[in-house]
Amino acid sequence: MDSNCASDASSRPRAGAAQEETLLRGAILAALALAFVLKEEWLDASPALCLTKRMAGIPCPGCGLTHSWVAAAHGEFAQSLAANPFGLLLMLAASAWLLLRTLRVQPRAWQIRCARPLGFAFLAAFVGFGLFRALGTVIHF
């Protein structure tokens, strides 16, 4: 095992990876564009789209991400963090990924090896935050 991060088992591109990346680029670009176009008032007036929130009455880890992106796009960073602390981080990461892939910047080997463990750490923190927030809604602490 390398001291920089866990090794990646395969570095060969999969079939259809270029199409998947094109779709992902389009989705990120559309989400970023919508964040700049939408207004907070419109989101507040619309019904909640989260099935967990609608059916169980508790927020999921992703609740507030749209509000967070819209607030960040309009320069309201405190409001963005209040809506969902991961929103601003996800928006910055998505923007950076989109920019680097558009410029065709090739990641270094250590960056590829570090991506998976960092992704798992982020996912664990994201789900942990969601559980903590959901429990806080139920227990009221």
Q: Taking Cα atoms as reference points, which of 83, 90, 39, 36 lies closest to residue 63?
A: 83
Q: What is the pTM of this model?
A: 0.76
Q: Taking Cα atoms as reference points, which of 5, 64, 13 lies closest to residue 40?
A: 64
Residue 7 in this model has a pLDDT that exceeds 70: no
Cα separation, 88 vs 73, in Å, equals 9
Q: Which residue has the tokens 């090794």?
A: 7
Percent of the chain with pLDDT over 90: 54
Confidence band, pLDDT 50/70/90 cuts, at residue 5: low
For the stretch 45-62, pLDDT in tens is 888 788 888 888 888 999
Terminal alpha carbon distance of the chain: 43
Cβ atoms of residues 71 and 83 within 8 Å: yes
